[in-house]
């Protein structure tokens, strides 16, 4: 199976409360929803558990009900490259599921997480029968394309402060991650893993973003006060009188 054997063995049906967190279920007509709910399973992943591994065949389309995952791979030198984080409400791997090809990336839990899965056969059945589901997947693919283009831009940025701002904006995408809302539950160490910076440097960037008024650091995470400022830190810097070169990203 795609998930680790232990994770697959821990799978169970979703509770009514957990089903309410699935963003695409309400787009289905009753017969489609009934089939999807019968097939959906959920499992508790501990820190470090793999949900998907490179080279393994796709068997499920996954979504995060609670917790935080990261998508990554290793380059030829053995260095881990993190592509993105997946916070609550995020469903991922639709491209792999569409093509039924082996995974080209790893998905790993950064903390204790609840991960739901829809079997790939049901995923394709919904594509064949549900207009609402097709629209959801199409929007996912469109947003994902924009996310990876933004990710390429972030990788080329030499200013670490802008990297933190833009990476936070990616985690707060309301289309891809509707379960996040205005408060992102994440630690500085988890954010450091996703951004590829030291925890100390992330702390400096968050402190500056808080002073700028883009975020407010709270216990266990941060509250977003200005999402546009996180998405376009250079633009918003031009609207300030800060003496630093990159006010919002600093």
116 pairs with which residues across the strands?
Answer: 42, 63
CATH number attached to the domain at 158-237: 1.10.10.10
% the chain with pLDDT above 90: 58
Residue range(s) of every CATH 2.60.120.10 domain in the chain: 5-150
pTM: 0.81
Task: Name the helix (H) or strand (E) containing 14.
Answer: none
123-133 pLDDT, tens digit per residue, is 999 999 999 99
DSSP state of 57: P
163-200 pLDDT, tens digit per residue, is 899 889 889 888 899 888 888 999 999 999 888 889 99
% the chain with pLDDT above 70: 86
Query: What's the confidence (pLDDT) of residue 239?
Result: 37
Instruction: Give every CB contact of residue 210 below 8 A, 6+ residues apart in sequence.
Output: 216, 217, 222
Q: Which CATH class is domain 5-150?
A: mainly beta
Q: Counting runs of H as helices and runs of E as strands, what totals does the chain give? A: 11, 11
Residue range(s) of every CATH 1.10.10.10 domain in the chain: 158-237
């Amino acid at each position: 199976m795609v998930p680790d054997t232990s994770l697959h063995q821990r799978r169970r049906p979703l509770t009514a409360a957990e089903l309410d967190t699935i963003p695409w279920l309400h787009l289905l007509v009753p017969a489609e929803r009934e089939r999807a709910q019968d097939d959906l399973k959920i499992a508790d992943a501990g820190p470090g558990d793999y949900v998907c591994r490179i080279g393994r065949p796709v068997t499920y389309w996954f979504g995060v009900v609670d917790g935080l995952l990261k998508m990554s791979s290793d380059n030829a030198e053995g260095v881990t490259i993190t592509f993105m984080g997946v916070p609550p409400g995020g469903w991922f791997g639709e491209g792999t599921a569409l093509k039924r090809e082996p995974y080209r990336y790893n998905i790993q839990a950064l903390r204790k997480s609840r991960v739901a899965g829809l079997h790939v056969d049901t995923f394709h059945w919904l594509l064949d029968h549900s207009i609402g589901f097709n629209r959801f997947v199409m929007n996912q693919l469109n947003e994902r394309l924009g996310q990876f283009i933004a990710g390429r831009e972030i990788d080329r940025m030499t200013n670490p402060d802008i990297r933190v701002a833009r990476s936070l904006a990616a985690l707060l995408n309301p289309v891809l991650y509707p379960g996040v809302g205005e408060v992102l539950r994440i630690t500085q160490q988890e954010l450091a893993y996703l951004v590829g910076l030291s925890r100390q440097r992330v702390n400096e960037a968050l402190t500056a973003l808080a002073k700028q008024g883009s975020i407010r650091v709270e216990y266990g995470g941060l509250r977003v006060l200005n999402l546009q400022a996180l998405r376009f830190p250079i633009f918003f810097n031009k609207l300030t009188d800060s003496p630093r070169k990159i006010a919002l990203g600093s």
